[in-house]
Amino acid sequence: MADNHDVRRKSSQPQPVPCDTPRMVKDPVCEMMVNPTSALRSDIGGRTFYFCSSGCQRTFEAPDEELRRMKRRATIAMAGVLVLAILRVAVFLGLAAGATLLT
């Protein structure tokens, strides 16, 4: 029984990180930790920023354009919600009218 307990204790201890492993950096848009050697990067104002994807990189480099796209997607989604709500009301009114005619 003591042997099993010792195995669990050893496996839960943090493992040392080799010195040649690059330190992880944070994507400024989504805050995901990325490896700087394989991440996308942009040099802006003398600083280097690292990104997990081209979408995060575009959002950071051109926030106005991404905001415009987001507003357009939100407008389309809200229009769809409004159309579905109107259709639902029409169906319920039709059902209510039919029910009153039958009684």
pLDDT of residue 16: 57
pLDDT of residue 33: 93
pLDDT of residue 66: 80
pLDDT of residue 99: 87
Angle between helices 54-61 and 63-102 (to 10 degrees): 110
| H or E segment and range at residue 7 | helix 2-12
pLDDT of residue 101: 87
Positions in the chain whose pLDDT score sits under 70: 1-22
pTM over cut 0.85: no
CA separation for the pair 5, 7 (Å, rounded): 5
